[in-house]
Chains A and B, each alone.
Chain A
Amino acid sequence: MKNKIVKLIAVVIAILLVQLALLCVHRNLPGYERFRDCAEKTDVDMNALFYSEEKHTSDAARCLRDKVRKMEEVNAP
């Protein structure tokens, strides 16, 4: 049992260290601060796997559709 608990603590520490290393890498990526600002501004959920960001994809699709429609109306004879 004692061995198992030591193992558990060691793994928790290892995970925290990995997380810390990743955080350090991220902080030093070029453009990271600006990226975070943009993500916060657009209120994007970075946990999103797929259509959790449906709000953004739908809005984006609607805006583009409107732009393309306007263009088609202008080009129509």
Chain B
Amino acid sequence: MGRALKNEDTWAIIIGFFLILTGLVVFFISPYSGIKQENKLLLEELKQESFPYKTVKWYQVSERKSALSSSGTPAGDIIHKLLRSPVKWEYNPVKSLYKEQALDKTAIARAENKLSGLEEEALTLHRQFIRQGASGSQAAHDAGEAAATWYEAGKALDKIRKNSSSYNLLWTLPLLALILGLLFSVGGYYMGYGFRSFFTGFLGVFALALISFILGKQAEVSSMGFGYPIWGIVLGMLISNTVGTPSWLLPAVKTEFYIKTGLVLLGAEILFGKILSIGLPGIFVAWVVTPVVLVLTYWFGQKVLKIASKSLNITISADMSVCGVSAAIATAAASKASKEELTLAVGLSMVFTSVMMVLLPAFINMTGMPEVLGGAWIGGTIDATGAVVAAGAFLGETALQVAATIKMIQNMLIGLIAFFVAYYFALKTKDTPGTKVTANELWLRFPKFILGFVGASVLISLLYYWSGTTLGEALIDRGLIRGFTKNIRGWLFCLAFVSIGLSVNFKELKSHFSGGKPLILYACGQLFNLLLTLGMAYLMFYIIFPEITANL
């Protein structure tokens, strides 16, 4: 027991599960019955609105139903605010932390007047239809149109209100640093780094993480896809390779500790029940192509390019074939890659993604490729999920949906791949190659945090399945994930990237890049990925399952 408590993996699982269980109490258990009841009432109200068109009330009720979320409870709201990261800014970085309410009263009053006029008109036409009954098909059409116009105007008003809302992160950020600092310092204490020294160092690393977040949120930089990961690494490297990392920071420069805890939280976001939207064609594109590309790229790196480091090779291969930075983090942790190797993989992914996310949709448009095929191609090849959504939107609504869904199906492979990579590297790195490895030896070498990652995924998937899609979306998607785990994970990954930068050595990084082999590996692997994904997407969506494509 004593030995286990000194282990980083154990503490990653303890802290990760402590956070997930806290989140479950706030976002799932306590609001469960209230949300269930509210959902039932809204469903009944919706049933009563059975007209041949969508009425004003229908829009109101269905909007409330689709916005049902456990983040809206008082406790959920406080936690959501506490975990908030800096906001997008253009010229003044202070705006990423603090903004006063800037209500454009005239614009709001104008929009409100317009909205109430449209509502009155829609209600009048609705009453007219009720009077005419089944014979009033033109009246039904007019009433439906008027309600839709009212709905659009309502959305525009919401947008004005949202843009003028205020926020103040100046009090939440110190509190968050304190809470996370205390939590990780307990782990640090048991691992032998000293509670006080870990805590002091943590505050310093957190401050650098905050600066990375702010830099990554600049509108122009952000639109290029260069967010906090790259800024965290750059900022850390700047310090460590010029003035040197201060000794008081060092106890809290624990890349793996933050990454592993973040990955346990990431497990909670991988829900197996959500993958069946486009059925078999999507699964084939995402789950057949990805492992094939991963294995072939790894083989290419070992046999053709002869990359000396197996861990660098697998990290770049996974990063390119699965989902970019998160896959790189998971595979690097599973293969025990060095910080320099992970840095290289992350840098390559971000640069390639930032170019591909613009060029690929432009190319698809130029060639006149069908939307579904283009969306599937984008979803299967562009690394980061955010970039996939934006690139899909470039082509159109259907392409966005197909691209994002395929990416989501692909993202689910991350746990399985990390598991197999860990198993493969545990076998490969045993002391006497060629001899049979015992179960005990394998257990000792196996990175245990992966069990936390898989465990979290299974637990939350089961809860999602058990509570049904509607409640699952309200309590888990919009509550636990959007209000809690994704925000806290963002902070943990940012702390990890700053720690990577603070401990990466330029010379070491340069040595890994010798002859540009990692770049060649990434480019060749991506080319193969592009060809295979396009071929498979065409085969699945146009030859084998054309009836699904026809209805998308």
Contacts and interface: CB of A to CB of B under 8 A. Distances in A.
Contact of B390 (A7, A42, A58): A42
Nearest to B278: A64
B393 interface: yes
B548 A8 contact: no
B408 to A, nearest CB: 4
A41 B278 CA distance: 25
Given A29-B358, A57-B404, A48 B278 contact: no
Interface residues of A, number: 50
Interface string B265-282: 010011000111111000
A44 interface: yes
A52 B402 CA distance: 18
A8 B242 contact: yes
Contact of B400 (A42, A50, A71): A42
A26 B358 contact: yes
B88 to A, nearest CB: 9
Contacts of B411: 50-51
Given A11-B238, A46-B390, A53-B389, A58 B274 contact: yes
B116 interface: no
Interface string A8-31: 100110010001001101100111
Nearest to B270: A51
A48 B402 contact: no
Interface stretch (B146-154, B223-231, B335-343): B223-231
A31 B221 CA distance: 17
A46 to B, nearest CB: 5
B362 interface: yes
A67 B277 CA distance: 9
Contacts of A11: 238, 241-242
B216 A64 contact: no
A47 B405 contact: no
Contact of A54 (B217, B326, B354, B482): B482
B355 interface: yes
Given A29-B359, A41-B393, A64 B325 contact: no
Given A35-B362, A46-B224, A60-B401, A54 B386 contact: no
Given A23-B224, A31-B365, A52 B386 contact: yes
B139 interface: no
A64 B401 contact: yes
Contacts of A39: 223, 390, 393
B352 to A, nearest CB: 12
5 contacts: A30-B359, A45-B222, A49-B493, A54-B486, A70-B551
Interface of B: 216-217, 220-229, 234, 238, 241-244, 266, 269-270, 274-279, 323-326, 354-355, 357-359, 361-362, 365-366, 384-391, 393-394, 400-405, 407-408, 411, 473, 477, 481-482, 486, 490, 493, 547-548, 551-552
Given A50-B269, A64-B277, A68-B551, 11 more contacts: A25-B355, A30-B358, A44-B390, A46-B222, A49-B324, A50-B411, A52-B385, A54-B481, A57-B404, A61-B405, A67-B551
